[in-house]
């Protein structure tokens, strides 16, 4: 390959996995320089996203937000290749040996944002093992409702974390909003109108340049009634109407998530109504409908390589916490009422968990932040 033109080398290398590319960096200085270049990193990432390849399922030991559970894996996080899902590998992450819960906020372009009760927020690339502990910005927030979001500002080529901190006294909500920029490695408060109430401490979902949260505009509501989207470029909010729900009064819980790069919405209704999932692609489209025999909470994760199946993480409530269980299935899209294959990932403990799909990438925190980040208040490894 040494004698080939650069564009051909780029085309060949962009088809390889991150693990292979990290080994190829040792072949020569020219290969190392090429693979580390921002141009190649973006080409490789773009190809992975477009071809639905180099995807990993990340399983966090901190339960999904629908569960108020003290049973978790002590901050452990596992990864399994989406193509096989046979074996889970425990990952070394910056909060692995820390006390308290370590929920994942979100994933974007191969970077994962997650937080720890005692140590704040970190950005982490599990493929390259590079991480950055964000500078501390807040004091004690135990009496506040706190939700976070993470995503990519493509216009400014910047990764951002958004934190909403709210205190409601009576029917009056006091909300502070701050944005962390990886490019500047700093937080700053922003002043925007926020006439909404956060009912649950569920972190936001990134899709199409925006971070989304479920909220209500009525402090007396027990369930959310709209989605708000935070534009990472303009740093402004706008409302996203919910899909049309025929039995709105039967809704118990609502969820938003990311499915194949698009925002999705699902809700749990009174039994025996199915679990429906809408995907936002210009307009809301009901993409999946699962009977309650599948589970009480159904999370769509990814399409199979062929596109004929969808990976689903389903949860069933039991009479006590020991009966509650999560299960992974590949469902045949031609017959969503029947499971195609149950997935067993060896090496991953049973019990409560949260799952996200993450693309393996070479995205570098140091390169995105620019020189001089290490040694400042943020700590990079």
Q: Is the pTM of this model over 0.85?
A: yes
The values of phi and psi at residue 21, to 5°, are -65, -35
Phi, psi of 179 (to 5 degrees): -125, 130
Which residues, in sequence order, are bridge partners of residue 125? Answer: 130
Do the Cβ atoms of 150 and 211 come closer than 8 Å?
yes
Element (H, E) at 21: helix 18-24
DSSP 135: P
Alpha carbon distance 242, 214 (integer Å): 10
Measured CA to CA, the distance from residue 354 to residue 326 in angstroms comes to: 9
Please tell me the distance from the alpha carbon of residue 313 to that of residue 335, in angstroms, as a whole number. 17
Residue 52, token pair as written in the block = 């639905």
Q: Which domains does the chain have, with CATH numbers?
A: 8-47 (no CATH), 52-366 (2.120.10.80)
Neighbouring-strand partners of residue 253: 268
| Ramachandran bin of 214, using left for φ above 0, alpha for ψ from -120 to 50, beta for the remaining angles | beta
pLDDT truncated to tens, each residue of the chain (381 aa)?
Answer: 656 788 888 999 999 999 999 998 888 888 899 999 999 999 999 999 999 999 999 998 775 555 544 455 567 899 999 988 989 999 999 888 888 788 899 999 999 999 988 889 999 999 999 999 999 888 778 788 999 999 999 999 999 999 999 998 877 778 999 999 999 999 999 999 899 999 888 999 999 999 999 999 888 888 888 999 999 999 999 999 999 887 777 888 889 999 999 999 998 888 778 888 999 998 999 998 887 766 667 889 999 888 888 998 887 665 555 555 678 888 888 775 555 688 889 988 876 678 999 999 999 999 988 644 443 445 444
Supply φ then ψ for residue 337, to 5 degrees: -80, -10
Helix H or strand E encompassing 190:
strand 186-190
Integer angstrom CA distances of residue 166 from 143, 197, 234: 9, 8, 22
In terms of Cβ atoms closer than 10 Å to its own Cβ (0-12, 13-18, 19+), residue 68 is exposed
């Amino acid at each position: 390959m040494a004698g080939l033109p650069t564009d051909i080398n780029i085309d060949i290398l962009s088809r390889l996995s991150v693990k292979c590319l990290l080994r190829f960096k040792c072949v020569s200085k020219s290969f190392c320089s090429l693979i580390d270049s921002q141009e190649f990193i973006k080409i490789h990432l773009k190809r992975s996203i477009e071809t639905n390849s180099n995807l990993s399922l990340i399983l966090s030991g901190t339960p999904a937000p629908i569960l108020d559970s003290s049973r978790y894996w002590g901050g452990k996080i596992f990864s399994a290749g989406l193509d096989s899902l046979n074996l889970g590998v425990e990952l070394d992450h910056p909060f692995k040996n820390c006390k308290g819960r370590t929920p994942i906020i979100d994933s974007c372009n191969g970077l994962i944002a997650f937080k720890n009760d005692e140590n704040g927020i970190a950005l982490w690339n599990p493929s390259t093992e590079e991480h950055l502990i964000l500078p501390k910005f807040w004091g004690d927030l135990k009496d506040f409702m706190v939700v976070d979001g993470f995503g990519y500002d493509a216009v400014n080529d910047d990764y951002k974390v958004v934190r909403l901190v709210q205190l409601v006294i009576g029917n009056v909500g006091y909300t502070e909003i701050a944005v962390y920029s990886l490019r500047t490695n700093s937080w700053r408060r922003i002043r925007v109108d926020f006439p909404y109430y956060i009912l649950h401490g569920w972190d936001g979902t990134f899709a199409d340049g925006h971070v989304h949260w479920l909220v209500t505009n009525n402090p007396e509501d027990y369930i959310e009634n709209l989605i708000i989207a935070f534009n990472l470029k303009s740093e402004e909010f706008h409302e996203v109407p919910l899909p049309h729900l025929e039995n709105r009064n039967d809704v118990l819980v609502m969820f938003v998530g990311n499915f194949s790069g698009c925002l999705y919405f699902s809700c749990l209704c009174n039994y025996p109504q199915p679990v429906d999932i809408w995907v936002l692609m210009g307009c809301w489209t009901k993409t999946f409908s699962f009977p309650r025999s599948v589970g009480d909470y159904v999370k769509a994760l990814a399409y199979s390589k062929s596109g004929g199946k969808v990976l689903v993480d389903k949860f069933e409530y039991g009479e006590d916490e020991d009966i509650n269980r999560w299960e992974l299935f590949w469902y045949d899209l031609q017959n969503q009422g029947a499971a195609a294959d149950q997935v067993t990932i060896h090496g991953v403990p049973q019990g409560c968990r949260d799952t996200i799909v993450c693309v393996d990438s070479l995205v570098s925190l140091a390169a995105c932040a620019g020189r001089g980040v290490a040694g400042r208040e943020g700590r990079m490894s």
